[in-house]
């Protein structure tokens, strides 16, 4: 995939994150955080099952026996993201919640890329950028 395609997908993911947070926050107000999380995950699972069936990729779904079980923890983290977001939005609002989510994603992403994967080196500019993100988050939240 080209960089432009990856950038477009990243932008779409950001927009989907904001819309998901808003809609799940509203759902949580009507049902409670755990129920909203459950409904969101079930609807998502059904949507992607239908997508798999339509795309004809069902054979790949059957072949999941070879997957390392620890990689399935991503599903639990996905559920926790929804749950934590639904719990935070009533107090912080959508923009403040997403600001904190994004800054934590970036900082943890730096750690994963540089320390765990070793794919990126932390340069002075990245440290300055991270400090500016934290400073910007302070201003947005206050």
Break the chain into its structural domains and give their ranges: 3-141
Burial of 86 (0-12, 13-18, 19+ CB in 10 A): buried
Question: Tokens 């998502």 sit at which residue?
Answer: 44
- Whether 29 and 93 have beta carbons less than 8 Å apart is answered as no
Average pLDDT, the chain: 90
Residues 64-79 have pLDDT tens digits of 777 888 888 999 999 9
For the full predicted model, state whether its pTM sits above 0.95: no
> DSSP characters for 33-57?
HHHHHHHHHHHHHHHHHHHHHHHT-
């Amino acid at each position: 995939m080209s960089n432009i395609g990856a950038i477009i997908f990243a932008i779409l993911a950001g927009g989907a994150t904001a819309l998901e947070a808003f809609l799940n926050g509203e759902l949580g107000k009507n049902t409670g955080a755990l129920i909203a999380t459950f409904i969101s995950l079930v609807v998502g699972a059904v949507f992607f099952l239908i997508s798999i069936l339509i795309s004809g990729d069902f054979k790949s779904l059957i072949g999941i026996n070879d997957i390392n079980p620890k990689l399935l923890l991503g599903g639990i983290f996905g559920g926790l993201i929804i749950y934590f977001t639904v719990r935070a939005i009533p107090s912080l609002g959508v923009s403040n919640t997403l600001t904190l989510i994004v800054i934590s994603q970036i900082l943890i992403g730096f750690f994963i890329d540089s320390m765990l994967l070793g794919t990126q080196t932390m340069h002075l500019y990245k440290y300055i950028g991270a400090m500016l993100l934290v400073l910007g988050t302070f201003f947005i939240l206050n």
